[in-house]
Structure 1
């Protein structure tokens, strides 16, 4: 993490220094990859079913491939660097889960996330359904440039993009761009509609133009249904489920279980055979 983030953050470093740090990143990544391979050999079924192992694998491989790409092109791969830095720093944060002072909160977050995962899936389907409906309603449709006619009614964001204006001074008809509402263009693509609906879930309805709301009852109906089912009902239900899951979880027991899993991985995959055979570390009666 240090070698990669230093390279990505400090732009004043010379290229020779960056090469050393990137090579060190690749070497340490391969070193950590060996232990992931040992985990897979030890129990392939457990490795495939554990999301922690998949996360570790992504955290190791992504910065390694980013470093390879950086060394080959000698140019900063921006999006790959951003994702690699985020993954490495999150991985560093997870090392605190075996310390009691921090581990209790990690145990709470993991246990609660496991309890409410199915509810989050249902919630995501609700959001996708409304995002898809708003995308179909507000997306730009066919434009006939020769007749300057725009299909899609007042909901079409392209209707605001271009207008013909008559100029009396020289009797020339000019194309101008005015009254263009850029907020409506978020619904022109399905993925951006999903993002817009996510923002609307927090109460931000500025993504919809007031002029459109005043002229389309279908849009108003969708927004009212979305506000009640998702923002009011599901969000408050989710908060209640979180409170119940936190109260029902035995935080101390969850932390001890998390620490036991961490210690078992250290003993199995990070210790040498000679260390595991030390009787003063692992007596026979244990």
Structure 2
């Protein structure tokens, strides 16, 4: 039953997931354009330039502090950067960094000074408000509504019927389809009169007419047995 609910809910929200994926890819591309290094560099050799996106300029440095409190401007220890120092040097890692931000991990975006990078701050604010706050909460709400709407036995039986139909069509041999034990010509179904009356009353008049036209004898018997007609079709 729960598997049927999962499949049905996934089909309902697939369009929203595609929209969410497009938005995440768009922000990942924007970060990639904004934080891509503008000059050549090498991880194996220190590259000194004024590029704020150069991984060597983002690497952790350690400076000497003299007894008088002044700090030596030349670092005496530098932690060599790697591919994770600036994850926006490649679009694939940029997409992964954006996904991590979506899950609440913004560590890939903390290597830059927020005060000196207004576009960077604007992207963070837009992404957090639009995606993390609005779209994710909307996604949770839609997911909850769909689960509540499909949390019934009807969804389970519908999924079960679809699976059985596929088995009958694609996995059974011709002689197996002719077995009377598996596929009887007549099937008897027991239903409570109150339930039948409720179903008939909820049926639209044109649908009830089509049913009686297709099965005139059964329609007359049901009408006599349960003494019920759809609303607007009382006879």
CA apart distance, 1:206: 1.3
Structure 1 outlier segments of 4+, above 6 Å:
none
Gap change, CA 1:180 and 1:160, over 3 Å in 2: farther
Conservation of the 8 A alpha-carbon contact between 2:59 and 2:85: no
C-alpha distance in structure 2 between counterparts of 1:256 and 1:144, whole Å = 61
Conservation of the 8 A alpha-carbon contact between 1:157 and 1:181: yes
Where does residue 183 of structure 2 map in the other structure? 282
Asked if 1:155 is matched to 2:56, the reply is: no
Conservation of the 8 A alpha-carbon contact between 2:87 and 2:94: yes
Where does residue 140 of structure 2 map in the other structure? 239
Flag the structure with more relative contact order, 1 or 2, with Cα contacts below 8 A and sequence separation at least 6: 2
C-alpha distance in structure 2 between counterparts of 1:107 and 1:238, whole Å = 20
Asked if 1:121 is matched to 2:22, the reply is: no
Question: SS at 2:38's partner residue?
Answer: coil
Which of the numbers 116, 120, 126 marks the counterpart of 1:215? Answer: 116
C-alpha distance in structure 1 between counterparts of 2:41 and 2:55, whole Å = 15
C-alpha distance in structure 1 between counterparts of 2:183 and 2:16, whole Å = 43
Map of 1:192-203 to 2, 5 A cutoff?
Answer: 192-203=93-104
Question: SS at 1:215's partner residue?
Answer: coil
TM-score, normalising length: structure 1 = 0.53
Q: Unpaired segments of 5 or more residues in structure 1?
A: 1-103, 164-175
Asked if 1:185 is matched to 2:83, the reply is: no
Where does residue 105 of structure 1 map in the other structure? 2
Q: Unpaired segments of 5 or more residues in structure 2?
A: 62-75, 188-235
C-alpha distance in structure 2 between counterparts of 1:116 and 1:272, whole Å = 37
Gap change, CA 1:159 and 1:179, over 3 Å in 2: same
Q: C-alpha deviations, 1:205-240, integer Å up to 9, x for none?
A: 111235533431211111111111111111111111
C-alpha distance in structure 1 between counterparts of 2:53 and 2:114, whole Å = 9
C-alpha distance in structure 2 between counterparts of 1:156 and 1:149, whole Å = 9
Where does residue 46 of structure 1 map in the other structure? none
Conservation of the 8 A alpha-carbon contact between 1:143 and 1:149: no
Q: C-alpha deviations, 1:29-74, integer Å up to 9, x for none?
A: xxxxxxxxxxxxxxxxxxxxxxxxxxxxxxxxxxxxxxxxxxxxxx
How many residue pairs match? The answer is 170
CA apart distance, 1:108: 1.3
Where does residue 252 of structure 1 map in the other structure? 153
Conservation of the 8 A alpha-carbon contact between 1:141 and 1:151: no
- Alignment RMSD: 2.9
Q: C-alpha deviations, 1:169-188, integer Å up to 9, x for none?
A: xxxxxxx9825554432111
Select the structure of larger CA radius of gyration: 2
C-alpha distance in structure 2 between counterparts of 1:191 and 1:108, whole Å = 33
Gap change, CA 1:267 and 1:109, over 3 Å in 2: same
CA apart distance, 1:149: 5.1
